[in-house]
A and B are shown apart, each in its own frame.
Chain A
Amino acid sequence: MTVSAADSIDPGVPLVTPDGRPLKLALAQATRRARIRAFALVVPLLLFVLVTFAFPIGQMLYLSIHNPVFSDHMPRLTAYLTEHPDVQVPGEEGFAALALDLADAKKNRTAGRIGTRVNYERPGSNSLFKSSARKAAKFKGPPYKEKLLEIRSDWGEPHLWNVMRRASAQHTLDFYAAALDLTHDENGDLSQVSPERRIYVRLFWRTLFLSAVIAFLCLLLGYPVAHLLATLPLRYSNLLMILVLLPFWTSLLVRTTSWIALMQSQGVINDILVTLGIVGDDGRVQMMYNQFGTIIAMTHILLPFMILPLYSVMKTIPPSYVRAARSLGATPLTAFIKVYFPQTTPGIGAGILLVFILAIGYYITPALVGGSSGQLISNQIAFHMQKSLNWSLAAALGAILLFMVILLYWVYDRLVGVDKMKLG
């Protein structure tokens, strides 16, 4: 059935395009084509970000629950432990598997790596594995249990076997437990590690606390400046804006270096204090290599991230509102609290969240000016990546940090919208 387009519109007859297709269908097709075209423009970048960003982070997350060091290098013992899930300290069969694996480990030079893996949960295991592997390589034959116990009585310890059993699992949540200062005690139950080794939970709290302090200081310093910039005539505010943007555009390391020059004990501020006679030459103030240094330097570095969102919100508030409040009899303070301040809360929320999100992941500045008390969780991740080489623990700490950041990012998106983010 063909109906010409010139026909008068009849509600019973569907509308069609000149070439005879129903109009609804043609429109749906055109919209779909437009959607596909828009999407096609984004696809290359999406793939790029998935490969260079999402995939590596996924890999890191996998590494936090996957550690095959023990099962790869101790295959016989791993097989034995899987077959006998209830044995505490095994008999000759289990020790034979252990001794043969240790001998192989000596040959392949992997005893150190295995020992390190067990050492995460049972301090002292590193040397135990190394020395036992050296001697196990010289065993001529059974009885293995007797010989190994002779080398070190530790091998008869049920706790060690519990630890080895857990380490033999390729997939484990033990690293998350370690990242939260938990461990498996002698009975295999989760419990807190000894007080002097409880560092990570405290470090997470310190990171959150310092970030909150920095965000608050940024608000305290940023609010008046943003207000001034938003209310001055444009030709002055543009000039002053440069003072805000210059730090924003200056290299992070340059700014950190400047703070070192200013705050170190032989630095500019201390020299001024000594010259003015406020402190003696032997009483120079320790401003750096502690929390104070981290807070001051990071507040300076993150302040523009507070001023810019505040400014863009304050810019939209008509000055006549405050004038109206004043003319109706409000004191300046009331007008500010009741009229002006409530209108700036979106900017405060955006600024606080942005500064907080950036602060909890900071690494460079705390590493350079923080000393030991000003370190954040990122510094501990870097330590496990580069020094202790406990990569799974680094990944687990990173995963927890990532979870916190994503949560805040989600709140930011709800509150502000990522597509509303502006630069400069």
Chain B
Amino acid sequence: MALPAHASPGEKVWHYTYLVICGFIFLFLIAPIIIIIPLSFNVEPYFTFTSKMMAFDPEGYSLRWYDKILTFGMANPDVPRDSAWWDDVWQNATWFHAMKNSAIIGVASTVLATSLGTLAALGLSRPEMPFRRAIMGLLISPMIVPLIITATGLFFFYSATGLAHSYAGIILAHAMLGIPFVIITVTATLVGFDHSLTRAAASLGAPPMTTFRKVILPLILPGVISGALFAFVTSFDEIVVVLFVASYDQQTIPLQMWNGIREQISPTILAVATILVIFSITLLTAIELLRRRSERLRGVSAA
């Protein structure tokens, strides 16, 4: 993209204008996410920068909203902070309740989606697979069909079967929503998979399970893990289904944020959002490392 030496002045002007435009678009993409980080340290209950914050006065900043994440919903927030206090946080704090639910539902639905999805992706990427396109279309569709429709359908289905207001119901629903991502990432890893490797393993006497564990799995593992991460994030971020079929007991972090925004919006939401941004940066780094490893394994080296 470097400008050649013979570029005319007009071209040079356009080139730099173009770079500036791109800079603004990147700013549009990233600024809203970054801006909430300093705002979450605001000492005042506002959603904007106070004059003290602009002057970088330490008095303008505080951790009170992070403290609020711990204390909100506690039985006795004002007693000395000993082990009993922390116990109270773990048992009663609203955000901790939501976090535990999100973790349980996220992990369980990820395990379900990843195991079923990987198995199916193995079948789908075999050349002999019948009705491949139609089945693939059906399996991807939970990602395409609007969540409100899926949630409406699940609401009726769960009311009839007694799965409403249960962990099992939400886990099944979230697994279903995560499956398209697992299918897409694992089949992508299986593109260009050398099937003579499995035939070689079989001809050397390995039973199918051993072939899978020793030959196939190590090669597709990066795809499986990144699919699992996608499935986890899908569950961790999902709110519409939870809104329709969960009770207070299954309240997750997004649902708690939703309630927070709709009722009394306080900077606690921004503090939680900041923690979630840091969480997604961690996940993104993990995905990026996996992608590089996968490319190295498959011999598609990225310069």
- Chain A residues proximal to chain B, CB less than 8 Å: 31, 34-35, 37-42, 44-46, 48-49, 52-60, 63, 221, 224-225, 228, 231-235, 238, 240, 242-247, 249-262, 264, 266-268, 271, 300, 303-304, 332, 357, 360-364, 368, 378, 381-382, 385, 391, 394-395, 398, 401-402, 405, 409, 413, 418-419, 421-424
Contacts and interface: CB of A to CB of B under 8 A. Distances in A.
Contacts of A46: 120, 135, 138-139
Nearest to A236: B1
Interface of B: 1, 11, 14, 18-19, 21-22, 25-26, 28-30, 32-33, 35-36, 39, 46-49, 116-117, 119-120, 122-124, 126, 128-130, 132-133, 135-142, 144-150, 152-158, 160, 172-173, 175-176, 179, 181, 184-185, 187-188, 226, 230, 233, 236-237, 239-240, 244, 254, 257-258, 261-262, 265, 269-270, 273, 276-277, 280-281, 283-284, 287-288, 291, 302-303
B187 A419 contact: yes
Contacts of B146: 360-363, 378, 401-402, 405
A251 B239 CA distance: 10
Nearest 4 interchain pairs by C-beta: A361-B146, A41-B123, A56-B153, A56-B157
Contacts of A58: 153
A381 B152 CA distance: 9
A59 B149 contact: no
B116 A45 contact: yes
Q: Which of A34, A41, A44 has the most CB of B within 10 A?
A: A41
A204 B146 CA distance: 14
22 contacts: A42-B120, A44-B119, A48-B175, A52-B175, A53-B153, A58-B153, A60-B153, A243-B26, A253-B258, A254-B33, A254-B277, A257-B270, A261-B36, A266-B48, A303-B28, A361-B147, A368-B261, A391-B156, A398-B149, A401-B146, A409-B141, A423-B188
Contacts of A257: 36, 257, 261, 269-270, 273
A267 B32 CA distance: 12
B128 A250 contact: no
A321 to B, nearest CB: 15
A250 B233 CA distance: 9
Contacts of A424: 226, 287, 291
Given A264-B47, A363-B240, 4 more contacts: A53-B176, A250-B277, A267-B47, A378-B148
A250 B150 contact: no
B128 A35 contact: yes
Contacts of A378: 146, 148
A381 B147 CA distance: 11
A56 B136 contact: no
A261 B130 contact: no
A267 B48 contact: yes
A364 B240 contact: yes
A261 B123 contact: no
A402 B145 contact: yes
Contacts of A405: 144-146, 149
A328 B248 CA distance: 69
A398 B230 CA distance: 27
Contacts of B283: 249
Contacts of B287: 245, 249, 424
Contacts of A249: 233, 280-281, 283-284, 287
B61 to A, nearest CB: 16
Nearest to B281: A246
A238 B135 CA distance: 34
Given A252-B237, A261-B39, A232 B1 contact: yes
A225 B179 contact: no
Contact of B133 (A45, A261, A419): A419
B29 A300 contact: yes
A357 B144 CA distance: 7
B14 A332 contact: yes
A247 B31 CA distance: 10
A332 B11 contact: yes
A261 B140 contact: no
Given A240-B26, A243-B26, A261-B39, A56 B48 contact: no
Given A46-B139, A395-B152, A247 B261 contact: no
Given A46-B138, A49-B139, A381-B152, A271 B35 contact: no
A109 B119 CA distance: 52
A41 B119 contact: yes
A62 B189 CA distance: 39
A376 B284 CA distance: 31
Contacts of A363: 146-148, 240
A59 B157 contact: yes
Given A46-B120, A249-B284, A332-B14, A364 B239 contact: yes
B277 A44 contact: no
A304 B155 CA distance: 31
Nearest to B2: A233
Contacts of A60: 149, 152-153, 156
A237 B126 CA distance: 34
A224 B184 contact: no
B225 to A, nearest CB: 13
A268 B22 CA distance: 23
Given A56-B150, A59-B156, A363-B148, A258 B281 contact: no
